[in-house]
């Protein structure tokens, strides 16, 4: 790094990957706490000879070599670091002053300095003492996605055949000739990489992803006791919730329930693209909800959350991240965190290919609420669609006793053999045009089946 590049880094201030340290003849002990935190997190640079205010003070004249030698000795001392940390150091001249840069790469190991595990949170080094937090750090550093963990005693009887069949029909409806259409349940699961062989142990069986996608509720509760998604609305009183939904069911039904929750409480502006009217709410909420369900670390005890308040719509979930910081169209590199789950969602039409979600959010968020999305990854992935237009500030929350449109249409389907679009509109209290959008969504989700031509089309429960 040359002097100009270093000054640019200093101008951006301290971050999760840049730390400033004053330095005398030798580095202070807290320098090595930061080395440990960077190695355990995403790596970073420590700039010795720079004050907290960003002023370049430099290290004492002639001390740079001894400082670098001291750093090399400490990080390799087994009585201080367990295991040893690999670092690189360099002396950088800045306007006649010398700054020593310690570059710490992200390590595949979990390191301790003087017996303490440190992690990096924003611009601070924090002690990690709780066992779940240390376990989460090991998971983050693992090369194996936890969704692919094989459960040898998880069997086909623990799954819901109706869900597998629904996925088969959704995939075939989305793409005629889809290979899943002609596969039995076990072969479909193998095709989707939900039955795999762990070549390190020789075990073959159903994976965690399979249980989360197609498992019975009690199965999912045993596989992931802490798994839940908590959705709340806080518009009338920010200290209490106006409505709440706690989802602990399979990921496919969870998607439908969370989308219905968003539809009940969010406005639905349309965007005109050519002759087509696009629902900005449908696009934005689809991306937020699918991301919340697909790209989370399911072994974490941290619940996923979806919040609708006067500031906008936000989500957060535990993440197994390879990047720490804000995500923009210019810097994001899509990486699959749960590729098996993501693949099933893509095949059945509940998500698009990797990377398209971020682009869709940037494309439609302004039409939805007047501002670009705010996205940040790390140990927790956070997404927010700010309400720059104030559409939620004066929003009237619907009474919780009022049935949602999807629920009303499904209740109608349960009570009759088949029904028309006009009957659906009457049952849900909607216009035919609005009812058509809900019915089409339920058909796409595999919950209703359409029969007949357009004029005489009827619908029935799947």
Nearest alpha carbon to residue 194 among 153, 152, 147, 162: 147
List, for residues 183-192, the tens digit of each pLDDT value.
999 999 999 9
Q: Report the alpha-carbon distance of residue 312 to residue 279 in Å, rounded.
A: 17
User: In the prediction, which pLDDT does 400 show?
Assistant: 35
User: What number of other Cβ atoms are within 10 A of residue 23's Cβ?
Assistant: 24
Residue 391's SS3 state is: coil
How does residue 429 score in pLDDT terms, banded at 50, 70 and 90? confident
Share of the chain above pLDDT 70, in %: 92
Q: What angle do CA 284, 287, 290 make, to 5 degrees?
A: 140
User: What number of other Cβ atoms are within 10 A of residue 79's Cβ?
Assistant: 7
For 112-134, what is the mean pLDDT? 88
Q: Report the alpha-carbon distance of residue 399 to residue 393 in Å, rounded.
A: 17
List, for residues 332-369, the tens digit of each pLDDT value.
666 667 889 998 998 999 987 666 778 889 889 988 99
Give the best-scoring range by mean pLDDT among 38-47, 152-161, 404-413, 453-462.
152-161
User: In the prediction, which pLDDT does 399 show?
Assistant: 37
Q: List, in order of start, the domains of the chain with CATH numbers.
A: 3-129 (3.30.950.30), 146-223 (no CATH), 229-386 (3.30.565.60), 405-461 (1.10.10.10)
Q: Report the alpha-carbon distance of residue 28 to residue 22 in Å, rounded.
A: 8
Residue with tokens 């169209």: 329
User: In the prediction, which pLDDT does 122 show?
Assistant: 78
User: In the prediction, which pLDDT does 137 show?
Assistant: 76
Flag whether pLDDT at 395 surpasses 50: no
Tokens, residue 136? 């989460």
Residue with tokens 């004249």: 61
Runs of H (alpha helix) within 41-160: 64-75, 131-141
List, for residues 366-385, the tens digit of each pLDDT value.
889 999 999 988 778 999 99
Share of the chain above pLDDT 90, in %: 50
User: In the prediction, which pLDDT does 398 show?
Assistant: 39
For 101-118, what is the mean pLDDT? 90
> How many CA within 13 A on the CB side of residue 93?
4
List, for residues 251-273, the tens digit of each pLDDT value.
999 999 999 999 999 998 877 76
pTM, two decimals, is: 0.63
The answer to whether residues 136 and 413 touch, using CB atoms and an 8 Å cutoff, is: no
């Amino acid at each position: 790094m040359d002097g100009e590049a270093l000054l640019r880094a200093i101008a951006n201030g301290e971050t999760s990957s840049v730390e400033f340290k004053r330095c005398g003849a030798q580095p202070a002990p807290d320098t090595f706490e930061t080395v440990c935190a960077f190695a355990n997190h995403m790596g970073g640079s420590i700039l010795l000879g720079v004050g907290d205010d960003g002023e370049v003070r430099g290290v004492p004249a002639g001390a740079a070599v001894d400082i670098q030698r001291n750093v090399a000795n400490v990080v390799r001392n087994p009585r201080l670091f367990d295991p040893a940390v690999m670092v690189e150091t360099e002396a950088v001249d800045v306007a006649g002053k010398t700054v020593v840069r310690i570059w710490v790469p992200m390590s595949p190991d979990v390191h301790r300095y003087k017996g303490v595990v440190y992690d990096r949170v924003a611009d601070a080094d924090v002690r990690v003492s709780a066992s779940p937090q240390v376990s989460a750090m090991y998971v983050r550093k693992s090369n194996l996605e936890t969704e692919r963990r094989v459960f040898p005693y998880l069997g086909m009887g623990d799954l819901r055949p109706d869900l597998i069949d629904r996925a088969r029909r959704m995939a075939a409806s989305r793409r005629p000739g889809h290979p899943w259409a002609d596969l039995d349940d076990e072969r479909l699961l193998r095709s989707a990489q939900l039955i795999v062989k762990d070549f390190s142990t020789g075990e073959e069986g159903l994976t965690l992803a399979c249980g989360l996608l197609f498992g019975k509720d009690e199965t999912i509760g045993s596989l992931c006791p802490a798994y839940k998604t908590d959705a709340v609305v806080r518009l009338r009183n920010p200290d209490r919730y106006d409505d709440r939904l706690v989802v602990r069911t399979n990921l496919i039904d969870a998607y439908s329930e969370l989308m219905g929750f968003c539809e009940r409480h969010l406005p639905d502006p349309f965007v005109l693209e050519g002759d087509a009217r696009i629902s900005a709410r449908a696009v934005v909420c689809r991306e937020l909800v699918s991301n919340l369900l697909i790209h989370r670390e399911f072994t974490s005890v941290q619940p996923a959350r979806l919040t609708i308040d006067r500031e906008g719509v936000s989500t957060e979930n535990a993440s197994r991240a390879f990047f720490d910081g804000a995500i923009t169209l210019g810097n994001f590199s899509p990486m699959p965190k749960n590729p098996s789950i993501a693949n099933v969602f893509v095949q059945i039409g509940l998500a698009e290919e990797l990377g398209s979600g971020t682009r869709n959010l940037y494309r439609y968020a302004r039409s939805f609420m007047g501002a670009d999305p705010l996205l940040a990854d790390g140990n927790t992935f956070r997404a927010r669609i700010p309400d720059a237009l104030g559409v939620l500030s004066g929003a009237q929350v619907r009474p919780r006793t009022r049935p949602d449109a999807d629920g009303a249409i499904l209740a109608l389907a349960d009570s009759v053999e088949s029904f028309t679009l006009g009957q659906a509109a009457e049952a849900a209290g909607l216009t035919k045009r609005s009812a058509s959008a809900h019915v089409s969504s339920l058909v796409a989700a595999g919950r209703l089946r359409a029969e007949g031509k357009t004029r005489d089309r009827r619908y029935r429960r799947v």
